[in-house]
Amino acid sequence: MSQRPAWMSGALTVARRELLAAFDSSVAYVYTLAFAWLSSSIFMNEFFLAGHAELTAYFERLPLLFCVFLPAITMRSWAEEKKTRTNEWLLTFPLRASAVVFGKFLGSFGLFGLFLLAGLPLVVMVYSLGEPDGGRLLTGFLGSALAGALLLSLGLFCSAQSADQIVAFVLTAVAGFFLVLTGDDRVVAVLDGLSPRLGLGSLLRDHLALTPRFDPFVAGRIELGALLYFVLGSAGLLALNARQVEADRD
């Protein structure tokens, strides 16, 4: 068997293990229902006030919700393995560290996919009430998937830094909120006011923040720079995670 199929087979095995663990413990059901209820409730409040058959308000709130819910998905990925020492058993498998990490990412993204599917009833609703822009809906979901992938990769990396799930959750949530809120104009203005010469707020918004790269997708545009931000950011965090796993194995 060639190296690539063996690598992917190992990653899928790890992903299946992660998903089974989530569903066996009812975590998947609880998280999905809670996310669906909260995201839909927030959107419906704004929808009836605005009266527009579109999901812009829904997509705009997702990054903040991701900062709360996605750390809950990834917090146990490595932290629980370290606490129960099952990571030592996992690392004895004849798998490359990158395959193990990517498998955990796929498992987490599979659960996150249920969060995205929770928005489909809203799509049906806006189509029944009007004629929304289908292209904007597609790019909105694409941007949401990419933002979720980045935050999941961040969560896996943070989970590998501790054997305590709560610590992993807090690290991921704080880092996630930092990426999201540094793109908020009000936060940018405050940071720029505190450091007028450096322009810290503008610097973070232009080079690091998630929101300015997410907004074009919500507006119906796929920009190369934004696409590279999410793809390369996710890949870089997963690579760092794999390097740490290799170090733990040695």
Domain membership of residue 30 (yes or no) is yes
Instruction: Kindly report the pTM of this predicted structure.
Output: 0.93
Q: Do residues 7 and 96 touch, judged by C-beta distance below 8 A? A: yes
Domain carrying residue 149? 7-247
Domain membership of residue 2 (yes or no) is no
Domain membership of residue 219 (yes or no) is yes
Number of domains in the chain: 1
pLDDT for the residue 83: 78
Domain membership of residue 1 (yes or no) is no
pLDDT for the residue 1: 44
Domain membership of residue 102 (yes or no) is yes
Q: What is the dihedral of CA 184, 188, 191, 194, to 10 degrees?
A: -140
Q: What is the mean pLDDT of each run of 10 residues along the chain (250 residues)?
A: 72 91 83 92 79 86 96 90 72 80 96 94 91 94 98 96 92 98 96 92 96 97 97 98 82
